[in-house]
Amino acid sequence: MKNGTTATKSTKKIGAVIGEYGAFIALIVLVVLLSAINADFRQPSNFTNLLRQATFNGLIAVGMTCVILSDGIDLSVGSIFALSAIICAKLIMVGVPAVLCVLIALVAGTLLGGVSGVLVTKGRLQPFIATLITMTAYRGLAMIFTNGKPISRLAESISSEGGSFFFKALGKGNLAFSSNTGISFPIPAFILILVFVLFYFILNRTTFGRRIYATGSNAKCAKLVGVNTDQVKIIVYCISGFLSSLAGLIMISRVNSAQPTLGDGFELDAIAAVALGGTSMSGGRGKIIGTVAGVLIIAVLNNGLNILGVTSYYQDVIKAVVILVAVLSDSKR
Amino acid sequence: MNIEMRGINKSFATNQVLKNAGFDLKDGEIHALMGENGAGKSTLMKILTGVYSKDSGTILVDGKEVHYKSPQEAEKAGIVFIYQELNVLFDLTVEQNLFMGKEITKGFGLCDRKAMCKKAQEIMDRMGVHIPVTAVMSDLSVGQQQMVEICKALMVDAKVLIMDEPTAALTQSETEILFQVIQSLREKGVSIVYISHRMEEIFELCDRITILRDGEYIGTRYIKDITMDDVVRMMIGREIGERYPKRDVEIGAEVLRVEGLTHQKLFRDVSFTVHAGEVLGVSGLMGAGRTEIMQAIFGNLPVVAGKIYIDGVEVKIHNPRQAIAAGIGFITEDRKTEGLLLEKSVEENIEIANLGKTSRKGIRSKSLRTKLVKEAIEEFHIKCFGPEHECNNLSGGNQQKVVLAKWIYTEPKILILDEPTRGVDIGAKKEIYSVINDLAARGVAVIMVSSELPEVLGMSDRIMVVHEGKVTGIINSADADQEKVMTLATGGCLA
């Protein structure tokens, strides 16, 4: 009898662990599987490369997690990604110092996100509609500003050497740990990890984090206990805008040009990563850790399938199947 | 239809919720089923109607043993359960709701709307209620929605109707109409199982009463042979003593003064005061504007005129945050949609109202939080597995205690309680009354809105009565009785 209860307890525990870290288990399985069948995949350099690729979706998905936790959705992330990149590139072309360009673009991205927040709270639009509007508008603005043409040779257009170095480092730089071993770590991936840690802290340890969860769980109730739910919502869209523009700036640094079509469809990968991580689409429930796993799963799939030479049409179908399986197994816990 | 349930046992996991429970129902009677929350009333009825399966026991319908495997099967046999949370499609019309899943068609899946409207109207007429069959459900009052549910039951020719707390959200006049409908159904031979916490209603309406306690059958009596005190004793298994505990508190200085508070439509020129240590009862019919007045004081509803003074100083309140800063706490009437983060734990619910107390410089503190929540659970006797217990799985009374706890730790000077004991069983009710008395003793000014007259009379120092958005009188409870309050509540004048 006693054995029976401990046995059920321990199986329950295992169940809870799978429920909690299901996305991580899936990630590990995926990595082990791909490492086993392909030698190129298991190279250390491939893993740093993989992290570098994960940066864009990773940054956007962190913002998306905050928005979704507050019971919203942000479709405008891809457009903000492009528009703030264009703003930065334009400023560089007219000779504004690079550091200032980046800062202005980040502020712009934050404000662009804030517009969605204001539409949702003060304009009482549903988040889906509000960000569909901003998504369309920002993409249009990006097209207008550039006449639909890319702005290239950015690094070369920066006059000061320091500015040029800063701009290049953002997307292409490495943190060298020790010059003789040659092990280095990409700066974008380092930024991503910093952002993950920062938002883990904000969501778990700060009162503001609690307010996001409460707003997403039951906004009416949260408002009545004194949470400024409108403010919370506006801030999460600002966060999403900020992180999207940060991702956009890293992108133009890396490719050394800015195109108005950048980031098209990025909102879908970000939402997929959040969903993979087990965050509830109706808000109030979810963890940043889950999003980390979700982002990595998508990055590993993209990277691994590329290395295996799977054509992109099949890649999409395989990605869809993985997301389906992950989400189904999550809801069964 | 005769129903006999004997020796019913039912466990959920390790928790035995029914132990040898029983029940019998005769043809054409109104039979009350009473017991505290968690006594097993709803579970017993859900077993009868096939929502749950029983572990053991027998169910005889007209002398034949039955095993309904689903509510649909029970419905076919003529037993219909109308749940407390109405099973209504709010965006559809009355007629569409009535015929959902059993549409009259012209063949090829084409709906015959004319025929359905006609039949729906017939049923409405038969019940003597006037609800347009083309109206959209969400435009109807809760009472009307309830009527539609009853119509739905009659459409399948129900012989037994089970109603769970049907009057919980009804106004006085809607309740009267419901009672008329129930009585006319009885005359047509329909048997009714009536689950309610409202003793007065049961004594007015029912023929017999069965009492359950902790999942066990306690007894069945004819209403005419029993008193309310007997029922309470059977329900809780001990003497409960005074229903409304006495309080001996010196009433202090004026804390809240409201002057000429006016809303665009819902209420006008509302003025009153509340003193430290005082309980001001607020009575009135549903829809009179009581809740709205309180929402306005709390800054959750904009007003066009009026002033609010706290401790003699005028305060501007435009949102709940300012109200809380001014020392007001507000317990809403709807704890499920406004009072609690239902899917969150006890701890999270208490924390969110007390973020200032459980954090340092915006960083949450585990030790402060754990200490506060532990204290709250002990002080308010919240029955839960621990701080992690999800509020969804608490009984109504314990949910309400969580709401009380989270507000009381904010240390308000003024606490507004809107229907604090709705859907709460007798034992928990009494605990809530004691909490209110403790608050008054600590010098808090308490405003208690309630639709239960005995409660208002038993708990208040003064009673403010609201009728159609106007205060029709403020009387000392020593001079008040049910008749006086009802006269004011219906717009009459006291002689």
Q: What is the mean pLDDT of chain B?
A: 89
Read off the pLDDT of each residue in B472-485 and give the average, rounded to a whole number: 90
Helix axes of A98-121 and A161-172: crossing angle, nearest 10 degrees? 50
Which of A225, A228, A231 best probes binding to B when mutated, by most B CB atoms within 10 angstroms? A225
- Find residue A104's DSSP bridge partners: none
Question: How far is the CA of B419 from the CAs of A259, B339, B423, B451, in angstroms?
Answer: 60, 12, 9, 7
Which of A204, A210, A223 is nearest residue B355 as measured by Cβ atoms? A210
Which of B338, B365, B391 best probes binding to A when mutated, by most A CB atoms within 10 angstroms? B338
Whether residues A226 and B353 touch (CB distance < 8 A) is answered with: yes
Which of A221, A280, A281 best probes binding to B when mutated, by most B CB atoms within 10 angstroms? A221
pTM above 0.90, yes or no: no
pLDDT of residue A5: 46
Residues B460, B448: Cα–Cα separation, whole Å: 8
**Residues of chain B above pLDDT 70, percent:** 99
Q: How many other C-beta atoms lie within 10 A of the C-beta of residue A159?
A: 11
Residue of A nearest to B340 (CA): A221
CB-based contact, A202 to chain B, within 8 Å? no
pLDDT of residue B87: 79
Q: What is the DSSP pairing of strand B208-213 with strand B216-222?
A: antiparallel
Tens digit of each residue's pLDDT (9 = 90 or more) over B244-294:
887 888 899 999 999 999 999 999 999 999 999 999 999 987 778 999 999
Number of domains in chain A: 1
B363 to chain A, closest Cα gap in Å: 4
Task: For CA atoms A84, A90, A92, A95, give the dihedral sign.
Answer: negative
A226 to chain B, closest Cα gap in Å: 4
Terminal-to-terminal C-alpha distance of chain B: 50
CB-based contact, B320 to chain A, within 8 Å? yes
* Residue-level pLDDT, tens digit, chain A, 333 residues: 344 444 455 565 666 666 667 788 889 988 999 999 999 999 888 998 899 999 999 999 999 999 999 999 999 999 999 999 999 999 999 999 999 999 999 999 999 999 999 999 999 999 999 999 999 999 999 999 999 999 999 999 998 999 999 999 999 888 876 555 556 789 999 999 999 999 999 999 999 999 999 999 999 999 999 999 999 999 999 999 999 999 999 999 999 999 999 999 999 999 999 999 989 898 999 999 999 999 999 999 999 999 999 998 898 899 889 888 877 776 544
Tens digit of each residue's pLDDT (9 = 90 or more) over B51-73:
999 999 999 999 999 999 998 89
Whether residues B362 and A207 touch (CB distance < 8 A) is answered with: yes
Most confident region among A267-276, B156-165, B475-484 by mean pLDDT: A267-276
B361 to chain A, closest Cα gap in Å: 9
Which of B324, B341, B359 is nearest residue A221 as measured by Cβ atoms? B341
> Six-digit token pair at B459?
């708990």
Q: Collect all residues of chain A within an 8 Å Cβ-Cβ radius of residue B351.
A: 210
What's the ipTM? Answer: 0.81
Question: How far is the CA of A195 from the CAs of A200, A203, A277, A279, in angstroms?
Answer: 8, 12, 17, 18
Tens digit of each residue's pLDDT (9 = 90 or more) over A45-104:
899 889 999 999 999 999 999 999 999 999 999 999 999 999 999 999 999 999 999 999
Range in A168-182, A298-312, B101-115, B377-391 the model is least confident about: A168-182
Question: How far is the CA of B347 from the CAs of A145, B142, B417, in angstroms?
Answer: 51, 33, 21
Looking up residue A267, the CATH number of its domain turns out to be 1.10.3470
CB-based contact, A226 to chain B, within 8 Å? yes
> Six-digit token pair at B351?
């924390």
Whether residues A221 and B355 touch (CB distance < 8 A) is answered with: no
Read off the pLDDT of each residue in B107-118 and give the average, rounded to a whole number: 86
Q: Collect all residues of chain B within an 8 Å Cβ-Cβ radius of residue A69.
A: none
Residue of A nearest to B299 (CA): A224
Chain centroid to Cα A23, Å, comes to 16
Range in A108-122, A177-191, B5-19, B326-340 the model is least confident about: A177-191
Task: For residue B478, give the 3-state DSSP assignment.
Answer: helix
Read off the pLDDT of each residue in B430-455 and give the average, rounded to a whole number: 92
Read off the pLDDT of each residue in B354-383 and give the average, rounded to a whole number: 93
Q: Which domain holds residue A133?
A: 2-332
pLDDT of residue A12: 59
Q: Please report the residues numbered 321 through 380 in chain B whose beta carbons come closer than 8 angstroms to any beta carbon of chain A.
A: 321, 324, 330, 332, 337-344, 348, 351-353, 355, 359, 362-364
